[in-house]
Structure 1
């Protein structure tokens, strides 16, 4: 979903995050790559390396179930930092359609909506979502805030549909690996002028569990800018 800024707060993730469930309780589908049953919950170990700073935190996500929002039925996820995400699933797949932070009175509709997963993931499928840098920081204070730069297009694609992933919660098989790629054009060192900074985000969704791992990289070490990396790994789920 649109994934991190930092000190890291999950609500600034793209998509990725997305950023990252909810629903009332029919029987669980063991093949579901993004469960939406009410009462589901996930605990992640989140590690952020941002220039010289390293942080380890815990992120919790809880499924709150379906809700009517402006005449549409959406599924709600609530994160431990107080952010809510609103998702829709139909024949096209799963999309994040709105979000609400602790500073918002009402949910804010996404424009455009953010695809999380297509309905039937297959290697070679591609889609785009708007993105922003989350880990790039200026060494010295300047007018420009890199995390508020104009959104760029994040190009996502299905890399694998039978991946195996090991995280603190265990070993997961038959997972879908999604990769997003983008770049930011900026002046990171006045001696060399503008340059492209590559950004990648890898996500693994596993049957019956959902997102088990996410890795984000914004690598750069320059005179005026430093970047970093973020890793999200599932510790427990119910």
Structure 2
């Protein structure tokens, strides 16, 4: 489950260039930038808490474009690297690599992370999966490899104040995501559309400060869960 949390959360950060861009960016991704988070999750009736670190380790060139390589790692888990590229109207993820792989795997299509500029009402879609819904009696219990859903992301606000262990931040953008996964939940309800909900808060000059994922479900066949991630400290070069 820890690797899952890393996966969905970190397709959402990008590279910038120059001090002014970094100060004004919701994604200050100069090499050497580092974020530490506390992750609290509940799944299948079990609660867990762990530390998670994201860092920008280097800049590379791919197809004549500058690409930021972000590394994501947590306790008792392998690290994952994401390649983020900047297009004229959006930031995209173009590849990823785990510590078990020698080379990065290119995405079939660039995966939209955030639009540029980030404005209230902006919306986009991308594929997601379930990270916390588990089968109760069938194996494999996880659905992440077999079930996909199209999530619609919307910038709900750009002037929110967020308080996390790392401090209080103002003028933050809140991005919400909503998708529905159709499952045969039990003989009584039959097929049911299960909501998958994501809320993310990004602050200028800091980056991602808070993230929530909610997948509520409790039936004879499935159990759900949720996760909250909050910034505890950060380093900006």
TM-score exceeds 0.5 = yes
- Could you tell me which residue of structure 2 aligns to residue 167 of structure 1? 164
- Could you tell me which residue of structure 2 aligns to residue 204 of structure 1? 201
- Could you tell me which residue of structure 1 aligns to residue 98 of structure 2? 101
Cα separation, partners in 2 of 1:150 and 1:183, compared to 1, 3 Å: same
Cα separation, partners in 2 of 1:84 and 1:10, compared to 1, 3 Å: farther
* Match 1:226 to one of 220, 223, 227: 223
List alignment gaps of at least 5 residues for structure 1: 1-5
- Could you tell me which residue of structure 2 aligns to residue 133 of structure 1? 130
Residues in 1 aligned to 2:42 and 2:199: alpha-carbon distance in whole angstroms: 16
- Could you tell me which residue of structure 2 aligns to residue 39 of structure 1? 32
Residues in 2 aligned to 1:180 and 1:136: alpha-carbon distance in whole angstroms: 17
Residues in 2 aligned to 1:107 and 1:11: alpha-carbon distance in whole angstroms: 16
Aligned-pair distance for 1:21? Answer: 5.2
What whole-Å deviation, never above 9, does each CA across 1:91-144 have from its counterpart, x for those lacking one? 212111111112222111223322222111111111011111111101112467
SS at match of 1:30: helix
Q: Decide whether the 8 Å contact of 1:21 with 1:37 is kept in 2.
A: no
SS at match of 2:19: coil
Aligned-pair distance for 1:163? Answer: 0.9
Residues in 2 aligned to 1:198 and 1:49: alpha-carbon distance in whole angstroms: 17
Output aligned runs, 1:1-238, within 5 Å.
6-13=1-8, 16-20=9-13, 26-27=18-19, 29-69=22-62, 71-80=64-73, 81-142=78-139, 145-238=142-235
Q: Decide whether the 8 Å contact of 1:10 with 1:19 is kept in 2.
A: no
Residues in 1 aligned to 2:197 and 2:128: alpha-carbon distance in whole angstroms: 11
- Identify the structure with the greater helix proportion: 2
Cα separation, partners in 2 of 1:104 and 1:19, compared to 1, 3 Å: farther
What RMSD, in angstroms, separates the aligned Cα atoms of the two structures? 1.9
Aligned-pair distance for 1:197? Answer: 0.6
- Give the TM-score normalised by the residue count of structure 1: 0.89
SS at match of 2:181: strand
Residues in 1 aligned to 2:25 and 2:7: alpha-carbon distance in whole angstroms: 26
SS at match of 1:87: strand
Bigger mean CA offset, 162-171 vs 99-108? 99-108
List alignment gaps of at least 5 residues for structure 2: none
Residues in 2 aligned to 1:21 and 1:45: alpha-carbon distance in whole angstroms: 21
- Give the TM-score normalised by the residue count of structure 2: 0.90
Q: How many residues in Structure 1 have an aligned counterpart in Structure 2?
A: 230
Q: Decide whether the 8 Å contact of 1:179 with 1:201 is kept in 2.
A: yes
Aligned-pair distance for 1:31? Answer: 1.5
Cα separation, partners in 2 of 1:214 and 1:50, compared to 1, 3 Å: same
